[in-house]
Amino acid sequence: MREAYHVELEQLAQHLAGMSAQVADAMEQATKALLDADLALAEKVISNDAKVDDARAECEEQAYALLALQAPVATDLRTVLAAIHAAESLERMGDLALHVAKTARRRHPDPVLPEQVRTYFAQMGDVAVKLARQTQEVIQTKDVEAARSLESDDDQVDDLHRHLFTVIMDKEWPHGVAAAVDVTLLGRFYERYADHAVSVAKRMVFVVTGKMPGYGPDEEL
């Protein structure tokens, strides 16, 4: 019975890792759709979002079944509770990629991004996808040091996001209010995506150590 139970726990972890891969692909494709004004790719991200939602529901159903039927304690209990929270964060990451894709679709055939900010979004997209891939690895390995290293990459996204404000608030900004709003919202989508990746990694640290790493004032437990 215990062997079967631990197989189920491992399956739960693999489902979470699969979700992380899904949302990494979603943001990678959404960023390309944004940069290239690629309507077909944006539509693909939008249609695939339902699969991420289904994956969250499956993870949560499996986690609640383990709580109800196995009454886990200690590390096993932390694993199940962390999985429930991680599935929520991963689903939100998928939603944020969806928002990027919808922005690309809404402005099509026109490009969303003025030329002077394209580089920032290409960089934020690269780092965001890297964070999601690293999160997938952390879920699979439960490597505490790898989990903690995600915060330095998250800082890169935060720095790029802050710099965007200096660009759009410049009195010489020539692209109007609508473009400034798009850039502001898109920057926020990438920032929150990265924050949720770090949150998932922190949950894995909690599984291993029993202690939740510190959170900043704008982060959720």
Residue-number span of the structural domain to which 30 is assigned: 2-209
**Are the CB atoms for 101 and 29 separated by under 8 Å?**
yes
Find, among 192, 189, 201, the residue nearest to 139 by Cα. 201
Find, among 108, 116, 134, 152, the residue nearest to 197 by Cα. 134
> Where does 169-211 have alpha helices with state H?
176-209
Cis peptide before 109 (omega within 30 of 0): yes
Q: Is residue 201 part of a domain?
A: yes
Q: Is residue 78 part of a domain?
A: yes
pLDDT over 80 at 38, yes or no: yes
* Per-residue tokens: 203: 């949950």
SS3 category, 213:
coil
Segment 9-29 shows an average pLDDT of 96
Least confident of 51-55, 70-74, 202-206, 210-214: 210-214
- Distance CA(194)–CA(38), nearest Å, equals 23
Grade residue 28 by pLDDT with cuts at 50, 70 and 90. very high
Segment 170-177 shows an average pLDDT of 92
pLDDT given for residue 215 in this prediction: 47
Find, among 14, 18, 29, the residue nearest to 125 by Cα. 29
How many structural domains compose the chain? 1
pLDDT over 50 at 221, yes or no: no
Q: Is residue 220 part of a domain?
A: no
SS3 category, 71:
coil
Q: Is residue 215 part of a domain?
A: no
pLDDT over 70 at 185, yes or no: yes
Segment 62-68 shows an average pLDDT of 92
Dihedral sign for Cα atoms in the order 58, 102, 203, 130: positive
Q: Is residue 216 part of a domain?
A: no
Q: Is residue 171 part of a domain?
A: yes
- Distance CA(89)–CA(74), nearest Å, equals 23
Grade residue 140 by pLDDT with cuts at 50, 70 and 90. very high
Q: What percent of the chain has pLDDT over 70?
A: 95
Q: Is residue 218 part of a domain?
A: no
| CATH classification at residue 136 | 1.20.58.220
pTM: 0.92
